[in-house]
Amino acid sequence: MRILVTGGAGFIGSHVVDAYLAAGHEVVVADDLSNGHRSNVHPGAEFYPLGLHSPNLSEVFRRRGFDIVNHHAAQVDVRRSVADPMADAAVNILGTIRLLELCRRHGARGFIFSSSGGAIYSEGAPIPSPEDAPARPLSPYGIAKLAGERYVDYYQSVHRVPGMILRYANVYGPRQDPNGEAGVVAIFCQRLLRGEAPIVYGDGEQTRDFVYVDDVTAANVRALELLGRPAPAQNGPAILNIGTGRETTVNALLRRLAPLVGGAPAPRQAPPRAGEQRRSAVNPARARLALGWAAAVPLTEGLGRTLDWFKKSL
């Protein structure tokens, strides 16, 4: 298949590109490099330095004729979305609509949308949260992702663009940027390897469901097969949680990382951050049934792999 991966120079998107190429697909990457890095793009992929609103993106669709569009380009920082909701919506809502319109106009046969299990479910939802748990996001980022899901549903139901929604837990691993404000594993790795005190926001007892990036890419590969199966449009797109189903506190995460670097300075405490949930973990049971998928990399092993990558890159 010929697949377009938006955000394919970013952390998760670049791993998805690698996996699709390894599976024998032809891959095109569109990324404006506002967050991604050209060095992340596999040399076997065709690369266009374009954002979602670029007028040249429609020409790429016209010339290349994609079978599948895998949409990973996004504004991913919760705090930035709180500070500037309009900028977040311009990328995460309007950018998604534009991409779906291009899929409709140019006959794409499937659309995979990377959504957020960590930001969509409401505070007080069952833990781990199933896909039908109440959705009441606490941040503009989560609101935008939920709106994107609704547009994927609309374009499948009305315009017959088959869709699939993958709600990620907290993804970590090699290539995650430690210099932004998202990605606690990457931030901790960088600070610990530099001998700097990690910063813990609030009391550190907030929980997250940490899933290794290779497991996430495996779900994206398996999603291609499910997306190719005929399904009644009125059923809506498949919505699948991609996570481990297990909670880990930020403090426990730090305790696991510290011995892997030979110890760590005492953490610095900082005020809690606006827009972030207290508890978060997603129930992956539906993905097991639909995709035959389950997270395979234990947290300690994934943290070790991630630290090894940071040791080489810092």
Domain ranges within the chain, ordered by starting residue: 2-169+211-242, 172-209+246-281+297-313
Q: In this structure, are strands 46-48 and 26-30 parallel, antiparallel, or unpaired?
A: parallel
> Of the residues 20, 121, 141, 168, which is catalytic?
141
Tell me the CA distances in angstroms from 77 to 24, 58, 199, 291, one per residue in order: 33, 27, 17, 29
Q: What is the pLDDT of residue 182?
A: 66
Is position 20 annotated as part of the catalytic site?
no
d(CA 104, CA 238): 19
The answer for 78, left when phi > 0, alpha when psi is -120 to 50, beta otherwise, is: alpha
CB atoms within 10 A of CB 201: 15
Exposure of 135 in the CB half-sphere (CA atoms within 13 A): 21
Tell me the CA distances in angstroms from 240 to 12, 219, 291, one per residue in order: 17, 10, 9
Look at residue 231 and tell me whether its pLDDT is greater than 90.
Answer: no
pTM across the whole model: 0.95
Q: DSSP assignment, residue 109?
A: S
Mean pLDDT in residue range 129-148: 94
Instruction: Determine the straight-line distance between the first and last CA of the chain, rounded to whole angstroms.
Output: 36
In what helix (H) or strand (E) does residue 207 lie, and over which residues does it extend?
strand 207-208
Mean pLDDT in residue range 279-307: 97
d(CA 246, CA 132): 18
Look at residue 113 and tell me whether its pLDDT is greater than 70.
Answer: yes
Q: How confident is the model at residue 79 (pLDDT cuts 50, 70, 90)?
A: confident
Look at residue 156 and tell me whether its pLDDT is greater than 80.
Answer: yes
Mean pLDDT in residue range 17-45: 97
Q: What is the pLDDT of residue 78?
A: 85
Mean pLDDT over all residues of the chain? 94
SS3 71: strand
Nearest to 202 by CA among 122, 118, 268, 127: 268
Q: What is the pLDDT of residue 314?
A: 72
Q: What is the pLDDT of residue 276?
A: 76
Which homologous superfamily does the CATH classification assign to the domain defined by 2-169+211-242?
A: NAD(P)-binding Rossmann-like Domain (3.40.50.720)
Question: Tell me: the pLDDT tens digits for 243-265?
Answer: 999 999 999 999 999 999 998 88
CATH number of 172-209+246-281+297-313: 3.90.25.10
Q: How confident is the model at residue 234 (pLDDT cuts 50, 70, 90)?
A: low
Q: At what angle do helices 140-159 and 95-106 cross, to 10 degrees?
A: 20
Choice among 117-131, 169-183, 247-261 with the minimum mean pLDDT: 169-183
Token reading at 115: 């959504």
Q: What is the pLDDT of residue 274?
A: 74
